[in-house]
Amino acid sequence: MLPNKPRVEHLFVAATSLNGQRFPDWEYHVHSTYSDGSASLSELIQVARVQGIKRLIFTEHTEPELTENGNWFARYWQEIEANRQTEKILQIICGLEVPITDYTGGLLIDKEMLDKVEFLLGAVHAYPGTGAGAAKEPEALIDREFRGLMALAKNPLVDAIAHPGGTCQRLGARFPLALFAEVVQEATRHGVAIELNPAYHAPLAPYLEICCQYHAWISPGSNAHHPEEIGWAAHSLRSLQNKIKC
């Protein structure tokens, strides 16, 4: 975790606690027009407030092709700070969704971002070192995904792992639950939370069951690119609470 950040037990929900408490009204994966979202920060904050969200973490991408031109991060940070000064209901946190650049801990983030970001959502968005002619057989995709996720699980800068297994599934290879379980175990050993994301983890129940089995910390992420998607993850997790024993 980054310096001066909340302890993991204050930021996330322990999977094993879900039988005894209602899953909180938190949203930890949201994109605004600073990257590839469709709405401004102020619009998203208003929707989150109406929906009863109590903690909202913005997680803009850091890939240049997905962000605004110029020094967008400084403006993003300043706007979040301005909203925090006036916000009375929501806790607003400045986060980034940061992809791997290699399989040994490299992340696409610069010093200015590292100095100010409060929540780092590590992601496997592409597979480093693979060009246009790289093998696309399911086994190759799964192997690259797994290697990237395990690197994130051990990275001390990472707070939570975004949509584990999601990229290879988007490319047509179903990520095995057995490998998801290995990632969960490694991340939990290093104090890194697992994002449960209904946009990628469907059905969600098997993923939650694995998180319960290995005492993982859960990060509720809806991968929200539009206002109406805010809160989807928390709602989905609440719907499973009475069906799964942790």
> What CATH number corresponds to the domain at position 34?
3.20.20.140
Sorting pLDDT into bands at 50, 70 and 90, what band is 4? very low
Q: What is the pLDDT of residue 244?
A: 82
User: Is residue 97 one of the residues assigned to a domain?
Assistant: yes
User: Is residue 7 one of the residues assigned to a domain?
Assistant: no
User: Is residue 2 one of the residues assigned to a domain?
Assistant: no
Q: What is the pLDDT of residue 9?
A: 65
User: Is residue 55 one of the residues assigned to a domain?
Assistant: yes
Residue with tokens 């690119």: 225
Q: Are 114 and 132 in contact (CB under 8 A)?
A: no
Query: How do residues 163-209 score in pLDDT, each as one tens digit?
Result: 999 999 999 999 999 999 999 999 999 999 999 999 999 999 999 99
Q: What is the pLDDT of residue 241?
A: 85
Q: What is the pLDDT of residue 131?
A: 64
Of the candidates 108, 84, 204, 225, the residue with the CA atom closest to the CA atom of residue 158: 108
User: Is residue 6 one of the residues assigned to a domain?
Assistant: no
For residues 149, 155, 157, 158, the Cα torsion angle rounded to the nearest 10 degrees is 30
Query: How do residues 25-45 score in pLDDT, each as one tens digit?
Result: 999 999 999 999 999 999 999
Structural domain boundaries enclosing 152 = 19-240
User: Is residue 10 one of the residues assigned to a domain?
Assistant: no
The rounded mean pLDDT for the chain is 92
Share in percent of the chain as helix, strand, coil (round to 5): 40, 15, 45
Mean per-residue pLDDT, 107-113? 96
**In total, how many domains does the chain have?**
1
Sorting pLDDT into bands at 50, 70 and 90, what band is 3? very low
**pTM for this prediction:** 0.94
Angle between helices 41-50 and 72-86 (to 10 degrees): 40
User: Is residue 3 one of the residues assigned to a domain?
Assistant: no
User: Is residue 191 one of the residues assigned to a domain?
Assistant: yes
Using CA atoms, how far apart are residues 131 and 127, in angstroms rounded to an integer? 9
* Residue 36 half-sphere exposure toward CB, CA atoms < 13 A: 10
Q: Are 99 and 108 in contact (CB under 8 A)?
A: yes
Instruction: Reply yes or no on whether the pLDDT at 2 is more than 60.
Output: no
Q: What is the pLDDT of residue 133?
A: 55
Q: Are 58 and 92 in contact (CB under 8 A)?
A: yes
